[in-house]
Structure 1
């Protein structure tokens, strides 16, 4: 159980860091160049980020927390299950419902960089915050073991 809890903590930390880096540096950096360059760069990022490492972290975070919650007892179970719920709602659902459709619109050329950047970063920051909360909840679950 301890190993699973630690893996869950690391997965949430990686996901929080990924989302944080995009909101705090990647997109602001792209905003500093011409919109056509920013769009091209972000399209490249969106293509390359779809890889097995992302899927392990992105899908693994809520699943690991859920499994840890189902296997743990008492307060630890509650913390892990809460982490799974926040991760699923704040990261997975936001990604599927908002960020991915915006990525698809950018790829198709149906959204301007200005509109994309502002909206995408706002929702990405929600994902970052949810991932940080999930990380903290996971830490609480680990401490309660």
Structure 2
């Protein structure tokens, strides 16, 4: 899966920004990512990059970062059993047409939505592990290299 990196939202000063993953969007299961095998660079430019830059012209495309879905799904709580993240295909959102086939959502897993599950250090560690999963390959990489 791939994450589009826009400066300054996901990328700032040569590295992932501190807000690369929105806790709110992860809690909602709505952090947008792209399924590499089901997307093209042209689709990503049309459905992700273009609309984001249109909303805020100060944004610039840096490229993308790739993670293996299983690496993300294997991030667990300290018990070693509770998966912290899930990935769900989301090609059509709220009946919106024109979305692309490779659109997916990344979010905190259902067991983490229980009051008292998280403490600040655990959530910070989980987000660091998630970011590290996207560091496994060249970062940033061009959309054309990612979506071949």
Q: TM-score range by the shorter chain?
A: 0.3 to 0.5
Greater radius of gyration (CA): 1
| Larger strand proportion of the pair | 2
The two structures have a TM-score, normalised by structure 1, of: 0.37
Q: Which has the higher contact order (CA 8 A, sep 6+)?
A: 1
